[in-house]
Each structure stands twice: as structure tokens, then as C-alpha cells.
Structure 1
Amino acid sequence: MCYSFISKPRIYNPATRQLVTLSAPIKSQTEEDAYGYYFGYDPVIDQYNVLWSTGVYVKHLGEIRSEHRVFVLKAGREGSWKKASPTAPDFLPHIPAKRGMCIDGVIYYMGWTGRYNLVLVSFQIRSRDFKMIQVPRRDGDEVLLRMKNVSLIEYGGKVTIIDQTNLREKGMLDLWAVEDAGNKNSWSRKTMVLQSSQLHLVINNINYIQHESNDMTKIEIKGIPDHWFSIDKSTVNVMLMDQSESLVYLET
């Protein structure tokens, strides 16, 4: 599990119950900065990485600037943040969104390259390559602006955007899957419609949805302090890794 606390990334292994707090990439970083930590694992080289991305809009220049650094987690050894320099010709500076996941050694997260332009950013752990994929627009022209209703999931082995904008009122859930993240970068859309008897489950609850059977189960998470849920901070963002990953003991 990877999450941030007081601007620092924290890694927790539920199997070993080990908690490691990493140093912040830069000393001037604050909670108000537009940044994100993204956790990933490459099974080929057996390596865990934490990717840090930050972006800012420079008003007097009318442009976005971003910076990216990588922390390699090594068993029994201390690490440090290394600057990552994107070389892809289609790469654009962006403001990262606090959503992320990892599939087959590739970290994915979303970011803004402009006020109305949202992209899916990929970072390959092995090669350190960045790529960008234009996010599709809802109903042909409306960009997915309400980021609080949008998340990344793995669906059928593919990175997928799950859009819950119409879930509570219409019982509709949109899934946008990347069909070929390496080459064609095409998207496919699937809309799930809940039954009327399921609609009460999507009001102020956390739910687990089984996509194949279109079934839904209510989940209750206990032990989260009440002060974490305020008007300004109503969401807890946690990035989880698969159960099959190897166990690593790290230096604190």
C-alpha cells in the first residue's frame, strides 16, 4: 500500500506489517502542491518503484511545468530520489491527478496538459520511458472534468478509466479501457447499468462491483479516524498492489 502523509510517501506491507516512510523528493514541497506518488512493481526485474510527479501552471508565461523523480526500493538498503527526464517526442508537461495504478511493470496515472485536456500518463519501470494517451471525451465532446468521480482500475488486464458521474442518479457506470497501451492507444467503452434494487447501495457507501456478473457488494471500512473526513478532505487515496507480489524488507 502506498499513500502520502505530511507530503511524504509511506509504504505499508500488510503481509509483514512493515511501514516505511520515505523522504520527500524536494524540501520545499507542501500539501498544497499539485503532486502525486505512484507505486509500481516490475516482475521481470523484481523491482519496486515510487514515482513522484508534480506540476504547476505558470501564469505569467501561460504554460505548465512539471518535474518527475523515481525512488527505487531495495531490500535492506537505503535509496534516494533520482530525476526522471522524459524523452518521448509526444510528452507534455502536466499537472498530475491523484489517481494511479500499475499493470505488468507500467505505472499509470492521469494528468492535465491544459485546462480542458486530460491525458493518461504511463511510466515503464524497466526502461524509464514516459508515454501519454489522450483521454476520451464523454458523449463525444465533454471532457471528464469531475475528477472526484473518475478513477483508474484494471479490467481484463487493461488499464481502465471508471467514470461514476451518472452512478447515483442514473445507476450507470462507464468503463473506458485502453485496447493497446503500447501502440494504437485506442479506447473501448462499456456501460454498466445497475438494477433498480441496487441503487440504494451507491449512496454514501463504498462498493465492490463484479463487472462480469454486473453484481455489487457493499463494503464497510472501519478504523479510519473521523478527522480524516472533513469538508476539505473527504477522500482517502490509497494505491494497492497485487497479493502475488514478492515480500521485501526495507530500511526505514
Structure 2
Amino acid sequence: MYSDRLFNLKSEHWVFVLEAGGSWKKVVSHENYRPHTAFARGQSISGSVVHYLAWHDMYTCAIVRFDVRSEELTTIIAPEDIRDDMSIPALEMRAELIEYGGKIAIFEHSNLRTEPCQRHLVQDIELIVKGTTQDGKVILAPVDVHSGFYILCYDLQSNDLSKVEIKGIPHRWFDKDCYFDLRLMNESERVIYLET
């Protein structure tokens, strides 16, 4: 639960136990756990650990870590020097979680450091992070579909931005209120069938 300004937060977490007849079980919070509201865009799953971006209050960004095996939930508050750089209110921030160098990181992309020749790719376009490639490039996609659909690959090391156009989208979808989702699968993800 949260208020419209992220004050007086209270949160509880439950897991669904995957067994015949399944049941819900409340997660016991770790000692460094802090109540928060989850940020829908920033999520990362690596093995048995789920990370997600959260807000403790309007200006305190955190990463919440949930270990599926131990059912341990911990809160990692962003360091103060980073929070000073991210003095954007929670409701306006364009941040998401990425994997960078094998570790979880916060990627705040409202101020992409693009070269002048790349600015036309990101000006006046709201982008969301859709993941990272195995070689460390951040995959960005526009929120709205206009005259074409594409993804951007941003190389954090070389500060290079490349555009990949996706063909075959019907023209009737352009400039309309529509929802699309782009999912990438890595080798650690697999389908699990459950008996009911």
C-alpha cells in the first residue's frame, strides 16, 4: 500500500508455493528491509534471485532483492552520492535495472550522453529499458509506436547508440493507442510446467 506522495508506506510480500494444490505464504522480512513501493519498470531475474527497483519515499531509490530459495527479502538503498545525482521525484524518473558487468545496476536514461549525430534517435521520444545483451549493450524501446518500430542498442563502454528497425508491423497500428511488449530470453530462462 502507498499514498499518492509515497509517505507512510506499509508493504507485505507473499509467495505462491508451487506444489499440488498450491498455497500462499507470507514472507518474513529481513532486518534491513524497509517498506517501499515497487517501480513497475525496473525488474531483473538472475537465477533464484529477483531484483526490482523501488522507492522508500519520493526521493529515496532502492533495489529490493528477493531470494526465491531462502525467501529472504532485503532492501538496498542507493548510496547518498548517487541519490544526489538522481534528485528527480519517483514519479518522473526514467530509471530501470540492468545487468552490467555481471552485477545489478540502476540505469537512469533521461539524460543519455549521446553524440550530436545520435540525438535524432532519442529526442522527444520516451524510451524504456527492455534488457541487456550478453555483451553488455542496453536495449531501449520507444513507449509509443509512430511511423515505424525499432529498438536502440546503447553500448555503455563506447557510448555508441545503434538503431534496429523491426519490419512487418501493420500501418494501422501506428499513432494509435496500443500496447506492445518486447521480451528477450537468455539461456538461464526456461519454461516450467506445473501440475494442477
Identify the TM-score tier after normalising by the shorter chain: 0.5 to 0.7
- Does structure 1 residue 94 correspond to structure 2 residue 39? no
Seen in structure 2, the aligned counterparts of structure 1 residues 207 and 159 have a Cα distance that, compared at 3 Å, is same
User: Per-residue displacement from partner, 1:201-250 (whole Å, max 9, x unpaired)?
Assistant: 22334411123343222134565963336xxxxxx676655234333234
| Cα separation, 2, equivalents of 1:207 and 1:141 | 25
Higher RCO (C-alpha under 8 Å, 6+ residues apart): 1
* Equivalent residue runs for 1:117-196 within 5 Å: 117-136=60-79, 137-138=81-82, 140=84, 142-145=86-89, 147-167=92-112, 172=113, 194-196=114-116
* Equivalent residue runs for 1:74-93 within 5 Å: 79-80=22-23, 82-93=24-35
Partner secondary structure for residue 200 of structure 1? helix
Structure 2: tracts of 5 or more residues without a match:
126-141, 143-150
1:108 paired residue among 51, 57, 61: 51
The aligned amino acid for 2:177 is H
- Using the aligned pairs only, state the percent identity: 32
Counterpart residue number, 2:3 = 57
Deviation at 1:56, TM superposition (A): 2.0
| Cα separation, 1, equivalents of 2:160 and 2:152 | 10
* Equivalent residue runs for 1:191-202 within 5 Å: 194-202=114-122
Question: Quick check: 1:152–1:159 contact (8 Å CA) kept in 2?
Answer: yes
Aligned pairs, how many? 162
CA RMSD of aligned residues (A): 3.3
Q: Would you tell me which structure has more strand in proportion to its own residues?
A: 1
- Does structure 1 residue 248 correspond to structure 2 residue 192? yes
